[in-house]
Structure 1
Amino acid sequence: MKRMHFKTLAFALLGILAMQLSVTPRATAELLPADQLASCQLHVIGIYAPEDHNTDDRVFVDVQPTGKPIVLALTGYYGAQWNVKISADADVRQVIVAGYFEHSVRGLPESVPTEMLTYFPDADKTRKDFFWAYSWHTKNGRDLRLRLKELTGLDISTFQGQYSAKRFVVDGKNGDVAAFLAADPPKSKPTANATGLEKQLRDHGLAAKLKLLQLSNQFSQNHPAVKQLERSIELIDTELKRLGAAPLEPATEQPAAEQLATSTPPTETDSHKVIEALVRQSFELQMQLQTARVEKAEADLQRIKLQLQQRVDSAEDIIAARVKELIRRDVAKSKTGEQPEEEVPASVLTDEGWKAWRSRDTRNALKSFLSALKSEPENESARNGLGWTYVHLGEYGKAITEFKKIDKDSPVQSAALNGIGQSLLALGKLDEAEKVLLDATEEMIAKSGEAQAAKMGLAAWYGLVRTYLQQKNYEQAKQWSQRYLKHKPDDKLMKDMLEQAESETEVNQ
């Protein structure tokens, strides 16, 4: 009887243990093979942080039936507690949770495998498999799409991304990616990446060339209306050349022969109206160009003021460096009959280059970096320094060329991206600058955390806000400057840019 009682008790304990194990949700599990997910749809939710992440990190996800099995991906930079509620008719086959900080998930049945891909809590500097994104058209968004394709073999069906949020509904309709794909500019158009000003110039110019073709068949070549139109087109081509853009293409649309044959000569009143309309159009165009020049000049002045202040702050270092160089030359001249000095190592030349660069001694910085690269072409610190020296010299095309030579996995790649973005900004190529600076800023935030990136005075972040201001995208300028000032509230330059964005918003309301 005693042995039977003991055996019964043992089985009871094992049963209790088995029940406990069966209801304990798994934190991680192996991903299902891609062939087992082939019939599924991939639905993605992305945030930067929960809506009240300082006091409540919960995010609620209601999964409704979509007509197909579901792979659910939940991503975020700041950690979230994902509370998932799955409808009885919804078929969730796999859940992937990815991000930078530690995340957790609740509400999933034991039958649903969950894969965690976050940098924390097991932070390891060599770990690179984590990812997150809350915007589709960003580097993080592109990385997210690539990683999920590698993990599941699936393209994304829906993507719901918000900077901060509390609740989402997955139903196969919210966040349909067709909207994002439709928003992509056609790759075949040569002006897809043109600045707003360039596009405006081309629109005016092509319309003017078409009008010139028509008027040339009605008026003589010396008619004031034709001459005024030719001057307008010449003005547009000159401005396009100044922007580094291709000139206007010839207008190919010709008036129909029948129309020319039957057209009646214009009256004097009609001619005067055409001339007045063209003069007004030319005047308005000139005012728009002048306004654009003033805005660029103001942005350049702000950049020059910042460089001047940095130069003033480094005055003693600059003077000491120049004195040292003059003394070195004087000593070298006084030496005669001595053996030539040994070749200076590239690492030493690179250090000297950076010291000169920080002192705004661009001439010696340029000399040192070029010498370092001559003896060691793969020295990426010297390559980065050469690029930034060209930035200080205003030779932005050369700077971009040097930055692009730096390997994408190099430790100085973030600095190189910032350099490309700042150079594009200085050249007035705002759309290209925005893309590069946004990627550089988000990459540094992902690597170091938003607070650390702000406290270290991330230059790409400043450039990104300046780009939004020049694009007149004041809402984005406000959002990014406010995010920065949340961590570094006493930064005067960022406060000035936020004030500018807020004042412009009020004026335009």
Structure 2
Amino acid sequence: MLRSIVGVLSCVMLSAFLQLPCSLVRAELLPPEKLKDCELHVLGIYSPKNHGKDDRVFVEVQPTGRPIVLVMSGYFGAQWNVKIAPEADVRQVIIPGYFKHSVVGVPGDIPVETITWFTESGENRSDFFWAYAWHTEKGRELRERLKEITGLEITTFQGEYSGERFVVDGKQGLIAELEQVDAVTENSDPNLQKIASKFEDMLRTLDAEYQRVRTKFGDAHPAAQSLAIKIKVFEEELRRLNVAMPEVPTPANDKLTANEPSPLGDSRQTIENLVRKTFQLEMELQQARVEKAEADLQRVKAQLELRKKSAEMIIADRIDQLTKEKEQQTAEPESSDVPASLLASEGWAAWQKHDLRTALTKFQSALGKEPGNEAALNGLGWTYVHLAEYDKSIAEFKKLLKDSPSHPGALNGIGQSLLAKGDLDEAEKELRHATEDLIKRQGEAETAKRGVACWHGLVRTYLAKKNKQSAIDWAERSLKHKPDDPDMQSLLDQAKALPESDAK
């Protein structure tokens, strides 16, 4: 026992002196009460910039005026080379990720906790997490997990798809600025929820009237036909205003015409009530259009104000971009020995920034050098998906499947493309194949916890096919392992709302 303790202490001192990877030293996390005065600064990457050749990522920690909890997260393993300024007060280092990570430069008296699926011991940790983008499901999971572990809200977040150098100074990546953008782009309209709710009520009311008229007078009655046309008009308007359509039950046809149409005199009061309610709904829809337009105007104004405040930053960024473009134009042509893997990585980095033109060029260049490059084929396929060129995306994914028949990205991409095209039977086939393959290889619980896109796409396909029971079954299977998935819960609610007559 004593020898074990001495060995651990020796390892700690040796790592501090020689700056050996501290992941060799297992350290428990400090309890939240010991971190309550700290700021939480987070870095996130998908992979090191030169992944596979040089996995070093360099991090400079400057004093921020407060004690620091430093988090360095990544999917692919990195060697985090940390340089801490003498005035900086780092109390805890946390390294979440998927593959193994290591760290260099952290003094031995600072506890380092690595939370990755693959570990030095060879044992897998099921509590791993990672994220390199803020506005994603994994970004939300990262925030929740770090709050749970440290008791702190994140102060700064810097994320890059392929990372190499970061500076933690308490200024770069301020969360307050990210949330301000969120508020402008997503939450600046307090009336949208009210308008959406009103739209639902309007359509449900109109449909209820329609069912009563059909039941009493039959489908051929002018009042029923007129109301059917009105419903179509309302549905089209609601779609144009980007409002989710509520599911409304439709009675079986044999009940609709069970009663013989009453004489016109008996129906006059019913028709009058119908006309008045329809006219009232038309006026409410017009008012909703006005409210939506006013809300859009307020959002645009808020965006303008934010851009005014950030004007100097935007101008400086554009000057830098134009300067770099000019330098690139005057520089020598790109060397022909640039590897396809690097071009593919650059393509994915552009894709993550929604720079689809650059992504397209990089992936095509990579495939020109190495036609079978998996990362480039997958990237080109997903670029075409986002360009809504689904036939092209399917063609690229199929090329990838020739050598990798179970490639999850390609199977999912084909399924999502077919779903977008409305080819529901084939979409179901591909998305189910992708989901079941991941479950077979990773286990159902792990696949569900990762919130894989193909599983969500499969449930959406069943919803589109109005296959109620299959949609419910697959959604509940996922939620059994990940009950806090809001997207899957929403899909389950939609499935349960499907009429029983549509179950398949």
Same fold (TM over 0.5): no
Q: What TM bracket, shorter-length normalisation? A: 0.3 to 0.5
Q: Radius of gyration: which is bigger? A: 1
TM-score of the two chains, using structure 1 as the length reference: 0.42
TM-score of the two chains, using structure 2 as the length reference: 0.42
